[in-house]
Chains A and B, each alone.
Chain A
Amino acid sequence: MAQVVVVTSGKGGVGKTTTSASFATGLAQAGHKTVVIDFDVGLRNLDLIMGVERRVVFDFVNVIAKEATLKQALIRDKRVENLYILAASQTRDKDALTEAGVKRVIEELSKDFDYIVCDSPAGIEKGAQLAMHFADQALIVTNPEVSSVRDSDRVLGLLASKTAKAAAGETITEHLVVTRYDPARVAKGEMLAVDDVQEILAIDLLAVIPESTDVLNASNAGSPVIALGEIPAAEAYKDMVARFLGEDKPHRFLEATKKGLMGRLFGG
């Protein structure tokens, strides 16, 4: 049976898709057969971040509507073995997703894959609720900023009440991923420290991804951040995957390094 992991946040623009892409890539690099599904129907982006936008023929909605088979819709990543992408539909709206349809697709994928990563849309409406509905675990992507933290807390409430696990009286394992972290600003008292975010949300800290110009470069090029080589954001994502898989890795990049102002301003 596959583990279903939702990447969610409530607030938009905090790094869900960036994190989903790197997380799925990292799991596949570690040898686990992984599929990453874009749940943002109507506003698909994962295909761009993964650099497969020109290879999308059939999508998630086509599979749910039985207009295509899973085999036809799954896009195999060319860089990493064991990694597949299921794109969202760009033309339909969110109503094209049904609970029964999502369930069927996830059950079918479960037979073949080790990990199913669900990249949630922003918000707490139907699309986001379906993305989390069948999850065993959740990555809560949060920026060290008041609105993002509040929205993450709302999402934690939904995970505990509106999911299949919740209905069965079980709990989803929740992991905090703090993104766009700027240690220099934290040192100056201008940004919430990761400890404060964790204290407020009261869930396990999985990773801290530093603010970085490389993230925008990665999305420009259609390559997941984790594949960029030995830069802090990529290393932080590698640590995240290793920790998720049970390795004991200390958190890095929590202290300020000498970095240009421009770099911090324009970090993706």
Chain B
Amino acid sequence: MALLDFFRQSKPTTAQLAKERLQVIVAHQRAGNTSAPDYLPKLQKDLLRVIRKYVKVGDDAVNIGVERDGELEVLELNITLPSQQ
């Protein structure tokens, strides 16, 4: 009956529910369309290989992500170096 209670309390119309659901779906869909170009995994591997010429690092030392802010696209690159021993 939780669902019924939910309707009783706030009484959103079905059109409002539709709008809320669509806003979530569309935001998700658009993020999926634009994030992570397909060369990212390969770039990550190549970077790892280059870094390993100089430093001994683990497989998860390189982190890559793409962030979008309007028209601006930012490639974020994080390299974790091993702690000095």
Point out residues on A near B: beta carbons under 8 Å.
145-146, 149-150, 153-154, 157, 161, 186, 188-193, 196, 200-201
A192 to B26, CA, bound (A): 15
Point out residues on B near A: beta carbons under 8 Å.
13-16, 18-19, 21-23, 25-26, 29-30, 33
Which of A154, A157, A200 touches B19 (beta carbons < 8 Å)?
A200
The answer to whether A150 touches B16, judged by C-beta atoms less than 8 angstroms apart, is no
Which residue from chain A places its CB closest to the CB of B16 in the assembled complex? A189
A196 to B30, CA, bound (A): 17
Which residue from chain B places its CB closest to the CB of A193 in the assembled complex? B15
A191 to chain B, nearest CB (A): 6
The answer to whether B26 touches A196, judged by C-beta atoms less than 8 angstroms apart, is no
The answer to whether A146 touches B30, judged by C-beta atoms less than 8 angstroms apart, is no
Which residue from chain A places its CB closest to the CB of B34 in the assembled complex? A157
Which of B13, B22, B33 touches A149 (beta carbons < 8 Å)?
B22
Which of A150, A154, A190, A201 touches B15 (beta carbons < 8 Å)?
A190
A201 to B16, CA, bound (A): 16
Which of B13, B18, B30 touches A153 (beta carbons < 8 Å)?
B30
Which of B13, B16, B18, B33 touches A146 (beta carbons < 8 Å)?
B18
